[in-house]
Amino acid sequence: MLNLPIIRQDFKINRGRILVMFVLQMVSMLMAIGICEMKLIEISDIFWDTIPVMIIPMLLEMLLAYETITRCGEEGTMDLILATGIKPQKILFSKIFFIMVSGIVLVGAATLLGCLTRVYRLTGEWNRNSYLCLNAGAVGLQIFLGGFSYWMACRSGSLKKYILTGALIPMVLYGIYVIYYRIPQLFFLQYITVFSLFRQNWFAKGSVMSWIGIGILLILGILCFLLGNRAFYDHNFPE
Amino acid sequence: MIRFKNLTRSYGPGKGIFDFSFEVEEGEVFGLLGPSGSGKTTALRMLMGFEEPTKGRCAMNGKDCAKAGLSLRRITGYLPENIRLPQELTGRQFLKSMAQMRGVKNLERLFELAGELNLDVDQRIGKMSSADVKKTGIVCAMQHNPQILLLDRPFEHLDPKSRSVLVDIILEEKERNHMVLLGTEDVNGVDMTCDRVGLLDHGNMVYLGDIEDLRDNMCREYMIQFHDARSTIKFSKEKFEIKTMKDRNLVVEVQGAVKPLLQALSAYDVTEIESVPTSLKETFQHIYGGRLHA
């Protein structure tokens, strides 16, 4: 199902970008630890659970979906890869694998650092188990976001189109979630953003709702991958 | 054998290719020559199985390109038009990874070809000139010694020396009984490599035949020197198209057979007659009515 040379090529092309995101994530976690010492719990939350496990992996997946699919098509490398005679499904699966593993490894790295530095003790309601559950749930969110970026990357033939869809839509949805989070009176906003399916407080309480939300995100993510494959075929092998 | 049979791929009026029917035999170099947007790329992409025909079919080695694209792609070398390639990799890294994707173990031929084309494979693609990027694409297309070679604008951006090396490489492929199909706007490139040529205009094949036949049937120019200026003036009143006239010399354009010209000249005292080399480009410009891109 996988073609290792494709994954290796994508890694070599994107290793600089992955490293930058990894460094940003580590800096964010270290800032969380520092802020904890200063007892600024409310701010530190952003640096230990929002930026490292949501924002940075999301940005990385967006970037990798563009680099491995849209840009690869724009610059003609995709035609050369297709010309090798490798099955298109295998090419796509290798690309999806690379995008997803990169995002999940990033979440894993944040989880590991969080456990090692006991960052989950920043607020009283969290323990290590709920912290691990939260990060496992974040993987579900990343599968959805990766799937969505992949779908949009397969649909877009250029950077401009990709920015308008694959990058802008998740950003807007996240922005809506932040507004809802800050102004709970605007409760209706939670129904128009998928980010409300991943709520930290559900995990802290050990709520079943957290896993239902993640289940829905996983299903939506898989659906996005299928739609992406369809878009890729329509784009590269039009009937 | 490559075979197009009534192949049509329409993207709207005048866009795409319309009713292509021709064959390319083993050991033949065939040129699809036409300006930008005339359908060269579409024809090559259809052979790669990247486009479905609206009507008709195309086949390579007896297999339908739309249905057996996967197996055909394994025996085909393809150079897409306007490739840019990943800027972060060196030429060596890129070529090696593409070879690994194809399962090519022996990389000797690959780097030998790069050497022939004077390509520095250790340079980052991002820092390469467009000519070197093109060379990298050519090496990539030929790395597995394909039976069929489909090259889209292979001469574009190349310097004269590299063009001449590429011409030799294409002729070597021909000697090895491989099929080569070129899509190009480069008349001289076609002139130096192709056995047959198809002229495209807005997706229609306006001429199909041997390059030699084409030359024979097209306009030729002759420089004629008369014994005296009076004869020159007198001849200029005959029914021939005079291109230039100076002193005792004039250049006359003849379309098709040269016999009428020779008959007319028999009545004059001619001291010298010489054929002016007509480029293929001028020949094609005649067919296209000047629409062929320079």
- Reference B33, options B163, B191, B177; nearest CA is B191
pLDDT for residue B293: 39
Domain boundaries, chain A: 4-236
Whether pLDDT at B294 is above 50: no
pLDDT for residue A172: 94
Q: Which residue of B has its CA nearest to A12?
A: B89
Interface contact flag, A83 B83, Cβ < 8 Å: no
User: Does any CB of chain B come closer than 8 Å to the CB of residue A233?
Assistant: no
Please tell me the distance in Å from A76's CA to the nearest CA on chain B: 5
**The two three-digit tokens of residue B166, written as one number:** 């590429």
Q: What's CA A97's distance to the chain center, in Å?
A: 13
Q: Which residue of B has its CA nearest to A239?
A: B52
Domain B2-215 has CATH 3.40.50.300: yes
Quote the CA–CA distance of B17 and B39 in Å, as a whole number.
5
Of the listed ranges B3-12, B126-135, B192-201, B212-221, the least confidently predicted one is B212-221
Please tell me the distance in Å from A198's CA to the nearest CA on chain B: 36
Quote the CA–CA distance of B145 and B102 in Å, as a whole number.
11
Specify whether the CB–CB gap between A138 and A25 falls below 8 A: no
Q: Which residue of B has its CA nearest to A67?
A: B86
Quote the CA–CA distance of A67 and A16 in Å, as a whole number.
12
pLDDT for residue B73: 92
Quote the CA–CA distance of B4 and B205 in Å, as a whole number.
12
What is the helix (H) or strand (E) element at residue A182, kind and residue range? helix A168-182
Q: Which residue of A has its CA nearest to B52?
A: A239
The angle at the Cα of A22, spanning A19 to A23, to the nearest 5 degrees, equals: 85
At B5, is the secondary structure helix, strand, or coil?
Answer: strand
User: Does any CB of chain B come closer than 8 Å to the CB of residue A237?
Assistant: yes
The values of phi and psi at residue A87, to 5°, are -60, 135
Q: Determine the topology of domain B219-277 in CATH.
A: Alpha-Beta Plaits (3.30.70)
Considering only the beta carbons, identify the residue of B73, B80, B94 that sits closest to A85: B73
User: Does any CB of chain A come closer than 8 Å to the CB of residue B100?
Assistant: yes
pLDDT for residue A229: 95
Whether pLDDT at A119 is above 90: no
Q: What is the mean pLDDT of chain B?
A: 88
- Of B65 and A48, the structure prediction assigns the larger pLDDT to B65
Query: Which residue's entry shows tokens 């297999």?
Result: B63
Query: Which residue's entry shows tokens 């025996």?
Result: B75
Please tell me the distance in Å from A47's CA to the nearest CA on chain B: 31
pLDDT for residue B34: 85
Quote the CA–CA distance of A42 and A56 in Å, as a whole number.
19
Tens of pLDDT, residues B19-42: 999 999 999 999 998 888 889 999
**CB B84: neighbour CB atoms within 10 A?**
16
Of the listed ranges A122-126, A144-148, B159-163, the least confidently predicted one is A122-126
Write the secondary structure of A122-141 as one string of H (helix), E (strand) and C (coil).
HCCCCCHHHHHHHHHHHHHH
Interface contact flag, B88 A12, Cβ < 8 Å: yes
Specify whether the CB–CB gap between B136 and A79 falls below 8 A: no
Interface with chain A: mutation pick from B101, B102, B138, B148, highest number of A CBs within 10 Å:
B101
**The two three-digit tokens of residue B92, written as one number:** 């060596």
Please tell me the distance in Å from A1's CA to the nearest CA on chain B: 14
Whole-model pTM: value is: 0.83
Nearby residues of A191 by Cβ (< 8 Å), 6 or more positions away: none
Domain boundaries, chain B: 2-215, 219-277
**A110-123: average pLDDT:** 83
Quote the CA–CA distance of A181 and A172 in Å, as a whole number.
14
Specify which of A61-70, B102-111, B206-215 reaches the highest per-range mean pLDDT: A61-70
Whether pLDDT at A13 is above 90: yes
Whether pLDDT at B70 is above 90: no
Whether pLDDT at A128 is above 90: no
Whether pLDDT at A145 is above 90: yes
Burial class (CB in 10 A: 0-12, 13-18, 19+), B19: middle
Tens of pLDDT, residues A201-221: 788 777 888 889 999 999 999
Considering only the beta carbons, identify the residue of A75, A237, A239 that sits closest to B86: A75
**The two three-digit tokens of residue B265, written as one number:** 């000249």
**The two three-digit tokens of residue B31, written as one number:** 């040129």
**B217-243: average pLDDT:** 86
Q: Which residue of B has its CA nearest to A89?
A: B70
Interface contact flag, A80 B78, Cβ < 8 Å: yes
List B32's β-bridge partners, or say none: B183, B198
Tell me the longest C-alpha to C-alpha distance in chain A: 62
Tens of pLDDT, residues A224-238: 999 999 999 988 776
pLDDT for residue B279: 62
**B164-192: average pLDDT:** 91
User: Does any CB of chain B come closer than 8 Å to the CB of residue A3?
Assistant: yes
- Of B257 and B240, the structure prediction assigns the larger pLDDT to B240
What percent of chain B has a predicted confidence (pLDDT) above 90? 57
User: Does any CB of chain B come closer than 8 Å to the CB of residue A76?
Assistant: yes
Q: Which residue of A has its CA nearest to B134?
A: A76
- Of A137 and A94, the structure prediction assigns the larger pLDDT to A94
User: Does any CB of chain A come closer than 8 Å to the CB of residue B98?
Assistant: yes
Give B90's DSSP letter.
Answer: B
pLDDT for residue A1: 85
User: Does any CB of chain B come closer than 8 Å to the CB of residue A50?
Assistant: no
Q: Which residue of A has its CA nearest to B68?
A: A85
User: Does any CB of chain A come closer than 8 Å to the CB of residue B10?
Assistant: no
- Of A17 and A129, the structure prediction assigns the larger pLDDT to A17
The interface predicted TM-score (ipTM) is 0.86
pLDDT for residue B114: 94
Specify which of A98-102, A208-212, B242-246 reaches the highest per-range mean pLDDT: A98-102
Whether pLDDT at A4 is above 60: yes
**B74-85: average pLDDT:** 92
One fold for both B2-215 and B219-277? no
Quote the CA–CA distance of A10 and A95 in Å, as a whole number.
8
In the A/B pair of chains, how many CB contacts fall below 8 A? 82
Quote the CA–CA distance of A6 and A236 in Å, as a whole number.
18
